[in-house]
Amino acid sequence: MEETRNKQIIFKDFISGIPKETDMELKEGKIKLEVPRGSGAILVKNLFLSCDPYMRGRMREYYESYIPPFVPGSAIEGFGVSKVVASDNPNFEVGDLISGITGWEEYSLIQRTQQLRKIQQVDMPLSYHVGLLGMPGFTAYAGFYEVCSPKKGEYVFVSAASGAVGQLVGQLAKLYGCYVVGSAGTKQKVDLLKNKLGFDEAFNYKEESNLDAALKRYFPQGIDIYFDNVGGPMLDAALLNMRIHGRIAICGMISQQSLSEPEGIHNLYMLITKRITMKGLLQSDYLHLFPNFLELVISYYKQGKIVYIEDMNEGLESAPAALVGLFSGKNVGKGVIRVANE
């Protein structure tokens, strides 16, 4: 069989600090569009790839995380939506659309097929399966309902609120009958939160010299639920503003992820005085709820009760800049790369 061009984004080597485009490089290889017999593998054409902050964690040489580091010299791995073009696996047929972990390349040979999900909802845009209907959306769902234990009428604060996870957390909280405030890093994002995503209030944390005072302004009565996507000084300020029996879901620490010395948290004493529950969240612990999540979110979406904002980047070549952009807030909504049309 003839070989086909296969452009790839290669992870060069382990890094420290904030990721840079030069930590990755575009290479052009060749691939045969076939699968070795008896391998159980599938060969896919990648359509959409997902940019996610956790990928920074895979760029350091650390083997004790829930996911191993990237392999220097190999294509970056991440969530994607792909089409099966050859299969040696009875569970997948040529033409199937799937979502799950794939490579940052035009075509990928996937050996570990257990975690792949066949896409049934062909009436929803395919790219949504790496965002609203994929891992980030599911994180919002599991984090809000399972970790935050919400009650109607409660006061909810969400950081990185216009991003992939935050935008859905805020909307689910509103639908639950909560009062919701989000923080984000630009005026454009603040406007989106207030005017498109239905948050009650929003503020630009980069314009606030005192985060404690900002939270006191937006929550004079205190916060019942803080959905933390950023960690660091915002978490410290939120601790000072929690109400008695408040809950904090620790979902992400993007402000700390690239620091060699993480900043300390000073206000943990509030956990005692306010009897706060603070809990770490990993979406993969809740995967048994994935079908319920899809059913609810698709139904809300089709009824026009939630909206979804994507930051679409065109072509595999755009992938390094799109990934790096997450760490300076360049993405407005869920960061996605369109590699190919079906």
User: Among 258, 234, 262, 266, which residue's Cα sits nearest to residue 248?
Assistant: 234
Beta bridge pairs of residue 202: 182
- Which of 124, 253 has the CB closer to ligand NAP? 253
- Which of 5, 196 has the CB closer to ligand NAP? 196
By CB under 6 A, the residues from 173 to 202 that bind ligand NAP are 184-186, 189
User: Among 37, 18, 138, which residue's Cα sits nearest to residue 87?
Assistant: 37
Q: Does 150 bind ligand NAP (CB under 6 A)?
A: no
Contacts of the segment 25-32: beta carbons below 8 A, 24+ positions apart: 26/316, 26/317, 26/320, 29/5, 29/105, 30/3, 30/4, 30/5, 30/6, 31/3, 31/4, 31/6, 31/107, 31/109, 32/1, 32/2, 32/3, 32/4
- How far is it, in rounded angstroms, from Cα 94 to Cα 81? 14
- How far is it, in rounded angstroms, from Cα 168 to Cα 176? 12
User: Out of 80, 134, 137, 166, which residue is the one contacting ligand NAP (CB under 6 A)?
Assistant: 166
The total of other beta-carbon atoms located within 10 Å of residue 187's CB is: 11
Give the distance from CA 142 to its chain's centroid.
Answer: 13
Q: Does 163 bind ligand NAP (CB under 6 A)?
A: yes
Strand spans (E) along the chain? 3-11, 24-32, 42-50, 77-87, 97-103, 107-110, 117-118, 155-158, 179-184, 201-204, 223-228, 242-250, 277-280, 310-314, 334-338
From the CB of 55, what's the least distance to ligand NAP, in Å? 9
Q: Which token pair is 296?
A: 């609810």
By CB under 6 A, the residues from 7 to 46 that bind ligand NAP are none
Q: Does 310 bind ligand NAP (CB under 6 A)?
A: no
- Which of 45, 78 has the CB closer to ligand NAP? 78
- How far is it, in rounded angstroms, from Cα 104 to Cα 339? 9
Taking residues 224 to 263 in sequence order and writing x for each that binds ligand NAP by CB under 6 A, - otherwise, the string is -----xx--------------------xxxxx--------
By CB under 6 A, the residues from 57 to 116 that bind ligand NAP are none
* CB contact at 8 A, 239 and 265: yes
CA dihedral (104, 106, 109, 113) in degrees, to 10, reads 60
Q: Does 171 bind ligand NAP (CB under 6 A)?
A: no
3-state SS assignment for residue 273: helix
In terms of Cβ atoms closer than 10 Å to its own Cβ (0-12, 13-18, 19+), residue 83 is: middle
Find the part of the chain contacting ligand NAP (CB under 6 A) among 49-57, 74-82, 218-226, 288-296. 49-57
Q: Does 54 bind ligand NAP (CB under 6 A)?
A: yes
- Which of 59, 164 has the CB closer to ligand NAP? 164
User: Out of 178, 326, 337, 339, which residue is the one contacting ligand NAP (CB under 6 A)?
Assistant: 326
Q: Does 281 bind ligand NAP (CB under 6 A)?
A: yes
- Which of 23, 106 has the CB closer to ligand NAP? 23
Q: Does 283 bind ligand NAP (CB under 6 A)?
A: yes
Taking residues 110 to 139 in sequence order and writing x for each that binds ligand NAP by CB under 6 A, - otherwise, the string is --------------------------x--x
From the CB of 285, what's the least distance to ligand NAP, in Å? 8
Q: Which token pair is 79?
A: 């969530």
From the CB of 189, what's the least distance to ligand NAP, in Å? 5
User: Out of 160, 215, 223, 294, which residue is the one contacting ligand NAP (CB under 6 A)?
Assistant: 160
- Which of 213, 282 has the CB closer to ligand NAP? 282
The site for ligand NAP (CB under 6 A) is made up of: 52-54, 136, 139, 160, 162-166, 184-186, 189, 229-230, 251-255, 281-283, 326-327, 329, 331, 334-335
